[in-house]
Structure 1
């Protein structure tokens, strides 16, 4: 099977093998989280070099997540204006520029580069699900699972290898060097999407939707919408708070060397692949989504509780918690699908849940860093993370109860 897209210039179909499109999506996904977490293993070096506090350093991982919430309308407008293929290409160029800018100069340029990174990645976040639905509708489920896994592979690569690179090249060159992956993703993306037509206005909005005018005015008042927003906020806050500070926590609590701590923290990222593919299986075999939510939350909670009560078993807690955080993302989006009445409803709920959730999540690294700085320890920060996971569990359980009887 191949994908044939009409050429804008000559109207001649351009044959694109599906595996090439999948490869482009996965390489793009590796760059949609890696550039953010690349600074996590070297935050202490960045803080010392730039003369900033731990709270301020947390902005280098928190600001991009804030962009995920606030820049979504602008990202959607860009994609509607220039098309999916060209819009993602532009975002990758901006991403590369942001990574380079972050690695030169002082704090102002670092923050400016970080903002560019966040805006660019927001475009990719919005575009990928639409590309999958447009070009790979028969394989959307497996590709979405692989896409979610690739997000964590990108984080794992940067967490495990940034410290060794920084030891030889300095943190600035080490962090900027991941731009090589951006260049590779751009080249493959342009090749895989060559000749793709621009998206027609509203094409991604769910043609044929049956939502009534009354639904258009009242959809956001439904309790399940806000419960899912709260659940996603807890999930994302915990993920970004842990991602930003886990390497430093392992160094402080277990006396690990910087390189070993970064490599150890990568277990948390790579284990998410298990959750990304495992939760869809659980949703099929268990009687309802509430049980899946409880399983995910129980596994997620082992990370902060385990590091508090039995830190020597950190590989177990990182692996189990990592699998749970990958599954948490999947289970929230599965609940969105169950709660949506049609495609248009799905799109609106997804936008609110992600927008609101990422705004809350953007405070995760800063809040966890501030609590650590105020208490000079890791007990209170881990309890903050546990509180966010409990929020996911509470809101997720109630929303699962509201959606469990639906078949959509």
Structure 2
């Protein structure tokens, strides 16, 4: 089915008058997206330096990646409530302020500061995660597929930039300065977001009035909502598990230096651009989104299987897996936008899908790290990632075939 048949976009008249230029709003969304993964994955290429400095083991180091993802799950209801109360524009600005504070606190001395800053970063990014699909569905409904693709691409470009440059910056200074330096991107995003959304505050009353348009709790009983939640759990678990440990895996298996492994692992991030832009095209061309889900999962599975059977072809496997993870998040959020019956349900579905999925995904870095530490090899962790991809495949097929 095409987007024309499936999308339950709200009528244009439901949105309050706005004067913001679409191009400026898209730019604000993309700059925001650069900050919604980069501060988390920046830890990965300097994990060994952090462990040595703080005197912690691999499992504890994994918390610096997994705690923000746990926040994505547990703090999502609060983020949704904050956005409903303050409006999308102001709510995201508050979140960017908290994100900047968390980035600085994480780089202060000691493990407690690192953990506290990490939690602040996770809470702030949670607000952005929930807000963006709602902003796109409300203010850019006709371009939703393309903008979701660009948004997903920007998430991974932010990861690529931090993975590639954190080690060189740390080499010239130290890991603390390297992680704190990404606060500059937060400031830029906050400035552009304020400029793009300064006229959107008037939308809050209309959005609040729309709360009555979804009858009671019926929306969360829809099978498609839970199917998408489970599918997103598999997608996000695999993504964060791979992102947290891919640099170390490449170093161990192929003898790469820390710097080379950080740059090489960015292939997994930058290749997501292909999937992010390719999936909206496939959704328009294919008779059913189930075909798109199957293609995405086949490419995803190539990463763990390829690294298990032929690690010397790492670049190909990382590119295929990267394209798949970019396509996976795009197809899931496209289905959320399509299946939501109005803007309020869009926000609620987005919150539940992300909240449930990220709660599961929060265990990804720690589970992968613990399995590696217990076995002393990378075979076990890669099989864990493959199992998560199978969850995505099974639940994604079920959800993409449902309309209820």
Under a length normalisation based on structure 2, what TM-score does the superposition of the two structures give?
0.90
Note if contact 1:205-1:344 (Cα within 8 Å) is conserved in structure 2: no
Deviation of the 1:64 alpha carbon: 0.7
Alignment of 1:130 with 2:158, yes or no, is no
Note if contact 2:98-2:120 (Cα within 8 Å) is conserved in structure 1: yes
Deviation of the 1:280 alpha carbon: 1.6
Equivalent residue number for residue 87 of structure 2: 83
Instruction: Give structure 1 stretches of 5+ with no counterpart.
Output: 1-12
Deviation of the 1:345 alpha carbon: 4.3
Alignment of 1:115 with 2:119, yes or no, is yes
**Which range moves more in the overlay, 188-197 or 144-153?**
188-197
Q: Using the alignment, how far apart are the partners of 1:135 and 1:401 within structure 2?
A: 27
Equivalent residue number for residue 352 of structure 1: 352
Deviation of the 1:134 alpha carbon: 3.7
Alignment of 1:21 with 2:32, yes or no, is no
Alignment of 1:176 with 2:180, yes or no, is yes
Q: Using the alignment, how far apart are the partners of 1:129 and 1:284 within structure 2?
A: 19
1:8-407 equivalence runs, <5 A: 16-201=20-205, 203=207, 209=213, 211=214, 213=215, 216-403=216-403
SS of the residue corresponding to residue 287 of structure 1 reads coil
Q: How big is each residue's C-alpha offset from its partner over 1:7-50, in whole Å with a ceiling of 9 and x where there is no partner?
A: xxxxxx99543322221221111011100100011111111111
Deviation of the 1:201 alpha carbon: 4.1
Deviation of the 1:343 alpha carbon: 4.7
Deviation of the 1:167 alpha carbon: 1.0
Q: Using the alignment, how far apart are the partners of 2:346 and 2:55 within structure 1?
A: 45
Q: How many residues align?
A: 388
Q: Using the alignment, how far apart are the partners of 1:394 and 1:268 within structure 2?
A: 23
Note if contact 2:146-2:280 (Cα within 8 Å) is conserved in structure 1: no
Q: How big is each residue's C-alpha offset from its partner over 1:252-291, in whole Å with a ceiling of 9 and x where there is no partner?
A: 1000011110011111011111111111211222221222
Q: Using the alignment, how far apart are the partners of 1:189 and 1:168 within structure 2?
A: 32
Q: Using the alignment, how far apart are the partners of 1:14 and 1:293 within structure 2?
A: 35
SS of the residue corresponding to residue 200 of structure 1 reads helix
SS of the residue corresponding to residue 402 of structure 1 reads coil
Q: Are residues 254 and 48 of structure 1, via their aligned partners in 2, closer, same or farther at CA, if it must alter by over 3 Å?
A: same
Deviation of the 1:52 alpha carbon: 0.7
Deviation of the 1:347 alpha carbon: 3.8
Instruction: Give structure 2 stretches of 5+ with no counterpart.
Output: 1-16
Deviation of the 1:182 alpha carbon: 0.9
Deviation of the 1:338 alpha carbon: 4.9
SS of the residue corresponding to residue 203 of structure 2 reads coil
Q: Are residues 205 and 57 of structure 1, via their aligned partners in 2, closer, same or farther at CA, if it must alter by over 3 Å?
A: farther
SS of the residue corresponding to residue 377 of structure 1 reads coil
Q: Which has the higher contact order (CA 8 A, sep 6+)?
A: 2
Under a length normalisation based on structure 1, what TM-score does the superposition of the two structures give?
0.89
